[in-house]
Structure 1
Amino acid sequence: MALDDDELRDVDRDLLDYLQEGRVTPVYARDRMLEEEKRDITSTYLGQRLQRLEEHDHVKNLFDTGLYELVEDPREEVDDE
């Protein structure tokens, strides 16, 4: 079951932005957020957020290595016409 945009946290949106650019790990995302002065959170928490996105089929954990890639961005609107 896919997530709706209103079910996403700000950190999820940041992760999705990074994933649109390419694959990410929790450590990479943490370091980038610190560098961009967006937020100071742990890679463990980011891993949990990525796992939640994976549970809803928005990202894929490649070979269970902790390297994630985007499958479907829940922020994108689907046109039913």
Structure 2
Amino acid sequence: MQAEETNPMALDDDDLRDVDRDLLDYLREGRVTPAYARDRMADEGAREVTSTYLGQRLQRLEEHDHVVNLYNNGLYELADDPREKDDA
């Protein structure tokens, strides 16, 4: 039996910003684009941020294998929520 491979670059909850947590919440519901996340955050009164900034945050999550940029077109899907890591 092989040990489960873990990404040594994976983030944990302490590495996340509040905006990252909001993005992960949206991604748990389905796919998102930076523009969608920006509009939703503004509608909810959560924060005023640019879609460029949100794209950068999503790219960071992608670099750590937590999200996937589908077809490299800016549509992101959740791959692994870093908030759900066990400390075991």
Shorter-chain TM-score tier = over 0.9
Give the percent of matched residue pairs that are identical in Structure 1 and Structure 2.
77
**Where do 1:16-35 residues align within 5 Å?**
16-35=24-43
The answer for unaligned runs of 5 or more in structure 1 is none
Name 2:4's counterpart in structure 1: none
Query: 1: distance between equivalents of 2:20 and 2:87?
Result: 23
Three-state SS of the structure 2 residue aligned to 1:19 is helix
Query: 2: distance between equivalents of 1:4 and 1:79?
Result: 10
TM-score normalised over the length of structure 2: 0.88
Query: 2: distance between equivalents of 1:56 and 1:79?
Result: 18
Query: 2: distance between equivalents of 1:57 and 1:37?
Result: 29
Query: 1: distance between equivalents of 2:26 and 2:54?
Result: 12
TM-score normalised over the length of structure 1: 0.96
Q: Which amino acid aligns with 2:78?
A: L
Deviations 1:5-25 (A, max 9, x none): 100000000000000000000
Deviations 1:17-70 (A, max 9, x none): 000000000000000000000000000000000000000000000010000000
State whether structure 2 residue 68 is matched by structure 1 residue 60. Answer: yes
- How many residue pairs get matched? 80
The answer for unaligned runs of 5 or more in structure 2 is 1-8
Query: Could you say which structure has the larger radius of gyration?
Result: 2
RMSD: 0.9
